Amino acid sequence: MSKVLIIGAGGVGGVVTHKCADDSDTFSEIVLASRTLSRCEKIQSQVRELRGREIEIAQVDADDVAQTVALIKRVQPALVINVALPYQDLPLMDACLEAGVDYLDTANYEPPDEAKFEYKWQWDYQGRFESAGIMALLGSGFDPGVTNVFCAYAQKHLFDEIDYVDILDCNGGDHGHPFATNFNPEINIREITQRGRYWENGEWVEIDPMSQSRMFDFPEVGERKAYLLYHEELESLVKHIDGLKRIRFWMTFGDEYLTHLRVLQNVGMTRIDPVEYEGREIVPIQFLKALLPDPSTLGENYTGKTSIGCLIEGSKDGKPRKVFIYNVCDHEESWKEVRAQAVSYTTGVPTMVGAKMMLTKRWQGNGVFNIEQLDPEPFLEELAVRGLPWHVKEM
């Protein structure tokens, strides 16, 4: 039985809190903290209503290391779960180092002033976490997260050699808005508008944003057009999947979404550098974020399903093999269970499962770990129990 400190009270933070509350044997005490206390209060009320459990809430600025350290020392958690913004990964890792507590996140660090994300900054913490005798688990969401574990499972059980991996992410749902993002708008738009990138034959290949696409028949959703993007799990999987010849990441977008995005880009609303307006500086993408629907409010009227998985090709017992390992999640069912849409649900559930692996010592070690470095089986077993069943389809 362990106490956890969850930092971040958006859509994913809500799901993580609900799912931790469902497992009182592991998560005996839960503290939820955010810069905006009212967000914590809303989740606290929902957990009381739906789970019959009381949680503690607190206010914290995750950018302020000293403030976070003070909160950690007061709360005395066994683990800090970071579901705040990727900008805050490094300050929260610094706080965990100073307080001597284990750390978990769902997305790698991204500097606020540059649309670029990579693991270099967090991998640089390896020596310090190892010396401190504590563990940092990186990327315990869905992608990154579950998709990494799918690859680790495939390497361990389904293939003797893996040649090609295509990670395919489809949100086949409808939220009823002409334009909205399913997670933080600023992070989402920065991710989509940067140059595409994939790894092939030992080197990284860059392409223009959204310049390559493919059709794919997603289980329980159907055929959708997916676009090649760069995504952080590619960087770690290249290191940890032996013999890989190529790995790519694809995500689906509807025509209406792409039209809105193209117009916003053309008029400068996706810029991340400050512009002067009426005597003060504003960042256009941050202003746009304030205008768009909060992703945590999308769930109630969301219909349809997500379908996300890994298309893996290689050989087993001397014969070619190709499989699709995937999960399908229903927006309406997610709302009924935890008052969130399926994109938040598919990120929040594996966050809770990764935390459970650490707290129960199924996963342990000193230093910084990507999720595919650890045993995939207990994670996938727990994932299915907690609401995200997974399937292997021979192609």
C-alpha 284 chain-centroid distance: 25
Q: What is the CATH number of domain 2-141+345-385?
A: 3.40.50.720
Q: Name every residue whose Cβ is closer than 8 Å to that of residue 256 and which is 6 or more positions away in sequence.
A: 178, 179
- pLDDT over 90 (residue 124): yes
Is the CATH number 3.30.2320.80 carried by domain 146-337? no
The DSSP string of 305-335 is EEEEEEEEEEEETTEEEEEEEEEEEEHHHHH
The alpha carbon dihedral of 334, 338, 339, 345 has a sign of negative
The Cα 33–Cα 55 span in angstroms is: 11
The predicted pLDDT at position 71 comes to: 98
The predicted pLDDT at position 268 comes to: 86
**Lowest-pLDDT choice from 114-123, 254-263, 337-346, 370-379:** 254-263
Token duo for residue 358 = 């650490």
Spatial contact of 220 and 103, defined as CB atoms under 8 Å apart: no
**Over the stretch 275-330, which tens digit does the pLDDT of each residue have?**
998 899 988 888 888 888 877 777 678 899 999 999 999 999 999 999 999 999 99
Nearest residue to 83 (alpha-carbon basis) of 48, 35, 125, 42: 35
Which of 113-127, 176-190, 316-330 shows the highest mean pLDDT?
316-330
- pLDDT over 70 (residue 204): yes
Q: Domain residue spans in the chain? A: 2-141+345-385, 146-337
Q: In the predicted model, what is the mean pLDDT of the chain?
A: 93
**Lowest-pLDDT choice from 59-68, 133-142, 250-259, 324-333:** 250-259
pLDDT category at 263 given cuts 50, 70, 90 is confident
**Lowest-pLDDT choice from 17-21, 112-116, 155-159, 364-368:** 112-116
pTM for the whole thing?
A: 0.92
The predicted pLDDT at position 258 comes to: 75
Q: What percent of the chain has pLDDT over 70?
A: 99
**Over the stretch 325-369, which tens digit does the pLDDT of each residue have?**
999 999 999 999 999 999 999 999 999 999 999 999 999 999 999
